[in-house]
Structures are given as C-alpha cells and as structure tokens.
Structure 1
Amino acid sequence: MLLQRIANKGIQLGTLFDRAAARHPASPVILDHELDIAPKLGRRVTLTEVADLVDDFASRLWAAKVRPGQRVVVFKTNGFDISLLACSVARIGAVPVLLSPKLDGATVAELLRRVDQPYLLTDQDKLEQELPPEVFGLSERVLLTSGSFQDATELASLAGVRRVDPIVMSPDHPTLITHTSGTTGTPKLAVHTGRTFEARYRPQGTVMALKVRRSEPVAMHISFVHSRMFTIMPISVLQGHPLIVLRDDDPGSVGDVFTHVSPGFIEAHPNTFMHWEVLADDPRRPLANVKFFSSTFDALHPRTVHRMLGATKRKFPLFFQLYGQSEVGPIAGRAYSKKRGTEADGRCVGSPFPGMTGVRVVSRDGNPPTKSSPGYIEVRSDGRIVTYLGEHARWEKQVNDGWWRMGDLGYRTKWGCLHLLDREVDEIPGIDSTLEIEDTLFARLPELVEVIIIPDENGTPLPVVCTRDDKPLDLTAWRSAAAGLPAMAEPVQWKLDDLPQTATTKIKRLELARLLGAGNRGR
C-alpha cells in the first residue's frame, strides 16, 4: 500500500518527514555529527524533530524570497543537513540543486552558470576558502547556513518567521537536481522528477518491505548529494526503521557507532565497504547484527563481500549488489550469501528486475557480445532522468529508441545474467576486463585497499596500488599474485587519500592517468 500511494503522487520530498513522523513520531535518527543548521539538537533526534526542522528552514527560505519553481543550489560543508535542506527547498515548491562539498570552486562556478541565476545556499567556510567572488554575480542571492559573510543573508537571522504551508508540485515537475560523478570531465546536472524517483523505489522498497523487520536499524554512509540518498532515506523512515546516518567512514568511529546501535541493514558505497573490511576483525564485533548489506553503485570486489558476510553472526545474511547509475537508478541486482568465496566472479552484476527494468547488450562488431568481445550495455527504466540541465542534446545522445547507453561494456550469459567488464573510456586493448584483474589481485593480496589498472603513456596496463596503513608493497608477493594475469607494468604505489575521487569515492581513472602522465608517481 505504501509503494502504491507513492506511485500515485510520486516522491514528495517536502513532506517526507511529516508523513514519516505521523506514522512513527518517536523513531530515532542517530548521527555521527552535529547538524550545522541546528547543532543544539545533538546526535540523536526523533522524526518529529526532523520534520519540524525541515519545516522551519523551508519557512526561512520562503522569507528569503525563494519561490516555487526557482532553483536553489546547495553547496556547503559536508553533513546530513545537506539532505534535509533539500527537503526544505522542495517543501516550498522550489528545486534543490545539490553539489558535492568535494567540488572545487571553479567547477561550482561553472555549474552555477549552467543553472542560470539560482539562489546559492552555502556557508562562511566555503565562501572564505573555496568559492570565487564571482559566485555572487552568478546567483540571485547568497544564503548562509552558518557563519557570516558580506553581502550574504544569514538564515539564522530569519529564525522565528511565520511557518508556511507546504506546496505540492506535480509528479512530473523537477523535484531534485543532482550531478554525475564527473569522472570524465565537468559533472552533468541530472534532473529528477517525483515520478522518476517513484520508479526507483520499487526494487529496494519491495525487498525491504518484505524482508527487513521494522525494528532493524538501517545505517547509511552515502553521499548526501547523491540521488541514492533520496530513495534509501525515504524507504527507511516511512517504514519506521531507526536510521543511522554516517558522515565519517573512518573504521574506528564507525565501530564506535555500530557498537552503540547495532544496524541490521547497511547501505554504503563500494569503496566504503572496502574501507570497513578491518571491522571484521574488531573485537567489539560491530557488524555482528547485520542481516543485509546493500550497495547500489559500482560492482564490489568479491573479497569485500566475503569479508562483510563473514563478520556478521546472523543466520543466512545477504549482500545485495545492485547495478545502476545516477541517471537511471538501480537496474539489475543479485544477492550473495556466505557461500560466495573470494574467487567468485565479481563481474556478474545480476539480472534486471522483472516488470521494472530492462537490459540489453548491443554488439560493436555485428557478432553476439562475449567476454572477449563485449558490447555496449543499454538499459530501460521509468526511473531515468528527464534531461541534463542546460545540455539536453547531450542527454539525447545517450537515448536510443528508449534505451539508455550506460557507458559500460559487458555481455549476458545464456542464463540472462549481466556481466560488467569495464567503462567504455577505461577499456585497454588486449585486456578482457581491467576490473576482473583488479578482483583477482584483491583476492590474492589481502594487504591491498585499492588497485586501479590504467594504461600508461604506451598503452601498457599500469597498476596503481594502495596498501593498508601505507606499508610498502611486497613486490615478491605482488609478482606471485600477478602470475597468470595479462602482462602489466611494474606497480606504482600511492596513498589512498591522494587518489582523485568522486563524491561517491569512485576513483577518477582518467584524472589519475593524467597525473601519472604528468610525472606524478605517488609515494
């Protein structure tokens, strides 16, 4: 019934927490940080308090002259209040445009130009340390979530304004604008509607409604500006799950939180789960109560899935691996149990969801796509974005008779299972799959925390590796692990934090290749 009601109206972010609080008023939201817009609330709040906070800041935005249909760019210091402010913006019929706190000031300025004179919601630190002065000329008005700055309006000065009623927009009206990863250049601005978001609810919303008890706490470590936040968060609060929201992915602090409140369900980025492998050895057993793990981004390495499932003490735990993209949402999926070993085929990303999504692989040479000759992966979903803001022609280039080109290469087995081999831009001639090589190296070298295979200036596969605690790579062990794999150059070791990353912690492979080509050889 819940999913059907959402289907009739589309997702309404502005009233999300009102509806959740009406059903589960005392259900808690546990944070690992204070909210910049309301630090006095602390780190444990109820859905009722969150609903009031969203209403409060929606009214302040209205007092600042934000009106229905106008765009509000949110670019502030990282925190869960980014997502809550998006709900506040949507509550008065405006359209939130969420930009990652990791973006540099020049990129933010370029995106402000593309949005065309939006309101800019930021903070003192961003204005002083990252944003160029030109953002004032590129914005209708600059609003501050915290601090003070000349010519900017402090939302704190609008505390106590009269509350305004929520404005419900059509399900086909833009409800949120997020940006793509930017792995191949300046990020694109993806326009979502209430109806496209509704379509993204169905796969995981159905699974959670049928499989996950309401008493199970749901923990999330997801970029607060990513579209995924606005599907898993509503599903969780509307179904009444206690919600654990993490800003920090440091295993020590995460272990502290999970020891205090044990999650039954965890949603996180693939690289986050890799970073958390050490929690499997934590004597406090912070993962012991987890029944379900979930990741809806890139395919995870089998070693990481194996480590996560091995750390829980629940009977028959599952790891849900979902394949998707910001532009279309989850498309295919597969569940793994403890029987999956570290040498499992990590390139298999499962099958589409019956009646919800479709997948096809288009040949590049006229022959059926295979592992040695993969094709272009194309998908069909009602969750697809309606345009790239300011770049509709670019959006149209990825649509072929209703099918969306993912930018990935792969093939399907005779059983219909989709195998993802590489991004189109990352393909190296003579290599079936760089991702498969990385899976194998991870399985054979437990000390690795990251390995990226990119072409060097001669087109030779070059491994860039990161080790746990930045210990020097054991070259003897490396050569043993690389035995039987395609010929590669000698590995280059980097510190993990030095690798160029997206908002969802994906490595920017093209940027890394550029840095290496410019003579940056890591440590």
Structure 2
Amino acid sequence: MLLQRIGNRGIRLGTLFERAASRHPANVLVLDHDLALAPDLGRRATVAEVAELVAEQASRLWEARVRPGEHVVVHTSDTFDITLLACAISRVGAVPVLLSPQLDGDTVAELMRRADRPHLVTDPATLEGSLPGTVFDLAGSVLLTSGHHDRAVSLADLTGVRRVAPVTMPPDHPTLITHTSGTTGLPKLAVHTGRTLQARYRPQRLAVEPIVRKRETIAMHVSFVHSRLFTALAISLLKGFPIVVLSDADPERVAGLFAGIRPGILEAHPNTFMRWESLADDPREPLANVKLFSSTFDAIHPRTVHRLLRASRRRAPLFGQLYGQSEVGPTVVRAYTRRRGPEADGRCVGRPFPGMTDVRVVSRDGRPPSESNPGHIEVRSDGRITTYLGEPERYARQLSDGWWRMGDVGYRSRWGCLHLLDREVDLIPGFGSTLAVEDALFAKVDALTEVIIIPGPDGTAVPVVCTKDDKPLDREAWRGAVAGLPAMAEPVQWRLADLPQTATTKIKRLELARRLTTAGQDT
C-alpha cells in the first residue's frame, strides 16, 4: 500500500529542493561550473540556498507572464541552470520542455513548432549563435537567463518581484517534456507526468537502499535535459546525500575533483564511464571510495565495469546497470561485482523489477526468439510517457496492448535474463550481434576507447575505431583480436571527438554510417 500511495502522489519537481531543504538544510551541492542564473552563488551551496534560488527564479518567471499549463522551452548552454530552470518552471505550474544544447538551431525551431508557441528560455550566446531568427516568431516570449536583447526579457532584471506560492498540478498533468536521443532522425518530444516520473523514482530508490545504507557523496555526470537526472536528484536530495554535479567529463579534471571529494556513488552515462577508465590508473586513486557505480541508459562494456570496480578500495563495490529508454525509464537491472571479469557477458542486461516492470521478447519471423534469431524487446512500466508531443500517432504505433516496443532486439535466457543484442535499425544481416563483437574487441584490444560496427555501402560490417590519445591502431593486435569473430572490413580509425553523439553521449550509428559513406565517395 505504501508503494502505491507514493506512486499516486506524483513527483513534484517545483518543490523538490524546498522539501529536501526542510529535511537536510545544511546538505551541500557542489558544481564544477558557475551558474548563469546566480554567478555570485559560487560552486558550493547548501540545498537551502538552492531552494531559495529556485523559488526566486519561479517568481521572476511569473512576473514574465509564464502561467500554469504553458510550455516553456529551455535551450541554453550546457550547465545546471537547465535543471534549476526546469524546477522553477514546474513551481509555477508550467511545463518545462528541455532541449539539448547539442541540437542544431533548425531542429530546435522544429521542436518549438510542436510545442505550439511556447515561451523560450535561453542565454545570449545560444540566442546569437545557433538559433535562427525564426524563434522569435515561434515563441510566445523569449526570456534570457542573463544579458540583454532588444526582443527578449532578461530574467536578471526582474529583481524584487513578489514571491509567488508553488502551484501544484494534478499528478496526471504533464510535468516535464524531454526529447529522445535522435539516433534515428529528428528527436521526439516525450511527455512525462508527475505520476510517471514517480513510477521511475520508486524502483531506483528501492534498488539503492539495500546497497547504500549510510550517507555517501554522489557525483553525477548526466545530461541536464534527461529525465534520469531528476529521479537521481530526488533520491539523493531527499536522503540527504551531498551531491556533486559535473558538466565536464574530462578525465584529468574529474580525477583532480574526485581525489579531493572522494565520492561514494557515481552516476554517469556508459560512454562517460568508458572515458573514466583511465582514472583506475591514476596514482591519486580518485575512485578508491566508490561503493556504487550506476549507469541507467544502455548496456555497458564488461571491460569498463571490470576496470572501474578494480579501482575501488571499498570491501564490496557494485556496478549497477539499468536498461531502459527515455520513453519508459529503467525496466531491467543487473549488478556486477569484482568476481566478474572483463570477458563477462555484457549482453545480459538483467531482469525486471518485480511488481513494477515487465519485459517480453516477441518473435520477428514466427520462430522462437533466441541468440541466433533475436526478437523484438517489449516492456511494461508505469513510468511510460503518456504521448509524443505533437505526434500521438507515432506514439500509438509503438504500443501493443500496453506493451512498449523498445526498438531493440534480443532474447531471454532460460534463467529469465534479458539479452540485448542490437538496435533493430543497426542489424547487419548474417553478422550476428554487433554489440557482442564490440564487447569482445574491447576486452582484447586495450588501446581502444571506442569501436562501432556499422554497415558499409555494400552491407559489409565496418568497424570504426578510436584509440587512446588518437595513436595509430596496432594492426597486429587487431588481427589477433578479430580472429574467430564474424568477418569484417578493415578498421577505419576516427578521433573520438569527431563521432556524432547524442545528448547522452550515445554514438549516432546511422549518422556515422552516412558520414563514412560520404567520406568514401569524396576520396
């Protein structure tokens, strides 16, 4: 009954920091960057100070005529201001629409059209840089976090405004809109309610509680426009955990920061953890105190898990992997310990949360799904979004009697574990699982920092590789690694920085394949 009651109340983003401050007013939030909304606040603040900042910004938004139920697009530089603005917008009953700083201006304009004349909150650098002039026609109003523009209202100028009380919207009302990764085209706008976000919060909180029983510092490098950040913040803030929020994942900077604060929990994207493998060899031992590594987005390479766990000096550290999607939240979970080596089966992403999520694999051709004949992965979850904004038909096409098609293919083992083999659009006929082969290559070639297997123009599997410090690939080591694996073309080496990525650092495989084809045609 308790879990049901919590789920029915709905998560309340607008008062999240205020409620956390009432429980743990002296708890601290540490940033690796300055806030545009409050440059004088510094990089270390109490949760009570942050709650005051959110309430102040909400009052300024109200003064700027933002009202309950209205859409407010947030498209600014990549800072924690995005998250605080989302909470402030929610506090006045409006609906934040969070668009990644990585999106190009034309994409932002198209997503604003779907939001039907929203308010736009941005900053001078973004407004004068990537955004087209049409945003002024698409927006009900344009608001700046700092600075000035002739056609915009500066929130910084709205000082001394009357403090407004928080507006509580019904739990089934939209409370947050985020966009999908856009790995297969133009992003979709996913509509979350208070109830669906609370349903995502519940299993994650229950998964953490048996593992972390005392107060630990948690460090996060999660996209500021992703729904995962809000559930992670809610768990940490309401438990009184000190929080470190990172915008920069550069390993050298992170190593220095972690060496000083000694986090006990790390939350990051899989590709971020891959970059942080080098921290395992740092003499300052920045990962020594980590008890729990948490990754919520995609399957992660076993080599990365192995190296990070070996870098911890805690008695029994865990790596928690949650497989899910923007549309449904986390659906299955798997925990790794030090006992699993770098050759462990990384395609097994775990099992559902009992009583909260479920998963099935549906045949693609009438034959039972198996490793050699993977089927469509479908899930049930109360955390599923309610629609795609402006595209309800597209949303309905992915639903079948309450089951949500993930767009991935795989199978379930005889023990019930879900094995993720590929994205459906990334399948290469006759090759097998590209993800499994990538796992094998990572385990065998230590110098690799990324390997993506994509179809070439003639359908042949082409491995695109990146190496540490962009050093030339050791071809002899490569030939030894690919022995016994499915046939592939010769590897193509790229700089990691040149790979097309989403807001959550996933590689856009279809875009990479297109660029590779174009590059081949130009030579």
Pairing 1:365-376 to 2, within 5 Å after superposition: 365-376=365-376
Q: CA deviation at 1:6?
A: 3.8
CA 1:387 to 1:421, structure 2 compared with 1: closer, same or farther past 3 Å?
Answer: same
Structure-2 change in CA distance of 1:308 and 1:355 (3 Å): same
After the TM superposition, which residues 51-450 of structure 1 pair with which residues of structure 2 at under 5 Å, given as runs?
51-450=51-450
**Local SS of the residue matching 1:463:** strand
> Does the 8 Å contact 2:172/2:194 carry over to 1?
yes
1:31·1:43 contact (CA, 8 Å) conserved in 2?
yes
- What SS does the corresponding residue of 2:138 show, helix, strand or coil? coil
Counterparts of 2:512 and 2:208, CA distance in 1: 38
Q: Per-residue deviation at 1:211?
A: 2.4
Root mean square deviation of aligned Cα: 1.4
Letter in 2 for 1:97: V
Letter in 2 for 1:372: S
Displacement of 1:214: 4.1
Query: Unaligned 5+ residue runs, structure 1?
Result: none
The residue type paired with residue 218 of structure 1 is: I
What is the distance in 1 between the residues matched to 2:34 and 2:249?
A: 16
> What do residues 252-271 of structure 1 show as CA deviations (whole Å, max 9, x unaligned)?
11111111111111110000
**In 2: Cα distance, 1:160 partner to 1:281 partner:** 51
Report the residue type matching 2:339 in the other structure: K
Question: Does the Cα contact within 8 Å between 2:54 and 2:88 map onto a contact in 1?
Answer: yes
SS at match of 2:120: strand
User: Compared with structure 1, are the counterparts of its residues 176 and 432 closer, same or farther at alpha carbon in structure 2 (3 Å cutoff)?
Assistant: same
Q: What secondary structure, in the 3-state scheme, does the structure 1 residue paired with 2:114 have?
A: helix
Relative to structure 1, the CA distance from residue 318 to residue 421 in structure 2 (aligned partners, 3 Å threshold; closer, same or farther) is same
User: How far apart, in 1, do the equivalents of 2:6 and 2:263 lie?
Assistant: 26
Q: Distance in 1 between matches of 2:173 and 2:414?
A: 40
Deviates more, 1:183-192 or 1:205-214: 205-214
Determine if contact 1:28/1:243 at 8 Å carries over to the other structure: yes
Partner SS, residue 519 of structure 2: coil
Match of 1:497 in 2: 497
The 3-state SS of whatever aligns with 1:407 is strand
The amino acid across from 1:229 in the alignment is: L
Give CA-to-partner distance per residue, 1:421-474, whole Å, 9 cap, x none: 000000000112000000000000110000000000000000000001000111
Structure 1's 349 and 521: CA in aligned 2 closer, same or farther, altered over 3 A?
Answer: farther
Give the counterpart letter for 2:433 in structure 1.
S
- Give, as a single letter, the amino acid of the residue that structure 1 aligns with 2:34: E
Letter in 2 for 1:349: V
Per-residue deviation, residues 308-340 of structure 1 (Å, max 9, x unmatched): 100000001100011000000000011010011
SS at match of 1:518: helix
* Aligned mates of 1:269, 1:405 — CA distance in 2: 22
For 1:305, what is the secondary structure of its paired residue?
A: helix
Amino acid at match of 2:405: R
Name the SS of the counterpart of 1:147 in structure 2.
coil
Rounded to whole Å, the distance in 2 between the matches of 1:100 and 1:57 is 21
Q: 1:500 & 1:269 partners in 2: Cα distance?
A: 16
Measure, in 2, the Cα distance between the counterparts of 1:127 and 1:383. 34
2:389, 2:226 → 1: CA distance? 16
On the 8 A contact 1:492/1:521 being kept in 2, the answer is no
Residue aligned with 2:209, SS: helix
* Structure 1 residue 147 displacement after superposition: 1.8
Q: 1:521 to 1:486 in 2, by over 3 A?
A: farther
Residues 30 and 520 of structure 1, relative CA distance in 2, 3 Å threshold: farther
After superposition, the C-alpha distances for 1:211-248 in whole angstroms (9 at most, x for unaligned) are 21342011110000001011101110011100010110
Which range is displaced more, 197-206 or 178-187?
A: 197-206
For residue 15 of structure 2, give the secondary structure of its aligned residue in structure 1.
helix
The CA distance in 2 between the partners of 1:190 and 1:87, in whole Å, is: 17
Write the distance in 1 (CA, Å) between the matches of 2:295 and 2:323: 8
Q: How far apart in 1 are the matches of 2:5 and 2:49? A: 24
Matches of 1:467 and 1:106 in 2, distance apart?
33
Retained in 1: the 8 A contact 2:7–2:202? no
- Kept in 2: contact 1:492–1:522 (CA 8 A): no
- Tell me the amino acid that sits aligned with residue 143 of structure 1: L
- Offset at residue 367 of structure 1 (A): 1.6
Cα separation, 2, equivalents of 1:172 and 1:227 = 16
TM-score (norm 2): 0.98
Amino acid at match of 1:342: P
For residue 170 of structure 2, what is the amino acid of its counterpart?
S
Shift of residue 198 of structure 1? Answer: 0.8
Write the mapping of 1:459-498 to structure 2, written as runs, cut at 5 A: 459-498=459-498
Correspondence list, 1:10-89, <5 A: 10-89=10-89
Give the letter aligned to residue 369 of structure 1: P
Change (3 A) 1:288 1:512: same
Residue 179 of structure 1 aligns to which amino acid in structure 2?
A: H
Shift of 1:2: 8.9
* Per-residue deviation, 1:163: 0.6
Contact 1:59 1:161 in 2 (8 A): yes
Contact residue 177 and residue 191 of structure 1 kept, 8 A: yes
CA–CA distance in structure 2, aligned partners of residues 520 and 512 of structure 1: 12
Cα distance, 1:207 vs structure 2? 2.2
Post-superposition Cα deviations, 1:144-171, rounded to whole Å, max 9, x if no partner, equal 0022222111001102211100000000
Does the C-alpha gap of structure 1 residues 85 and 213 become closer, same or farther in structure 2, counting only changes over 3 Å?
A: same
Q: Secondary structure at the match of 1:330?
A: strand
Displacement of 1:7: 2.4
> Whole-Å Cα distance in 2 between the matches of residues 439 and 370 of structure 1?
19
State which drifts further: 251-260 or 351-360.
251-260
How far the C-alpha of 1:520 sits from its partner, in A, is 5.8
Q: Which structure 1 residue ranges, 4+ long, deviate > 4 Å from structure 2?
A: 1-5, 520-523
Q: How many residues align?
A: 523
- For residues 13 and 493 of structure 1, the distance between their equivalents in structure 2, rounded to whole angstroms, comes to 44
Amino acid at match of 1:208: V
In structure 2, distance between residues paired with 1:331 and 1:80: 27
Find the aligned partners of 1:285 and 1:259 in 2 and give their Cα distance: 7
Equivalent-residue separation in structure 1 for 2:88 and 2:5 (angstroms): 22
Task: Give the aligned residue type for 2:426.
Answer: D
| Offset at residue 366 of structure 1 (A) | 1.3
8 Å contact kept, 1:214–1:239: no
Q: Does the CA contact (< 8 Å) of 2:183 and 2:510 recur in 1?
A: yes
Unaligned runs of 5+ in 2: none
How far the C-alpha of 1:32 sits from its partner, in A, is 0.6
TM-superposed deviation, 1:210: 3.0
Q: Distance in 2 between matches of 1:522 and 1:469?
A: 27
Q: Distance in 2 between matches of 1:215 and 1:284?
A: 23
1:494–1:522: 8 Å Cα contact kept in structure 2? no
Q: Check 1:358–1:166 CA distance in 2 against 1; reply closer, same or farther (3 A cut).
A: same
Does structure 2 conserve the Cα–Cα contact (< 8 Å) formed by 1:323 and 1:349?
yes
Alignment CA distance shift 1:51-1:363 (3 Å): same
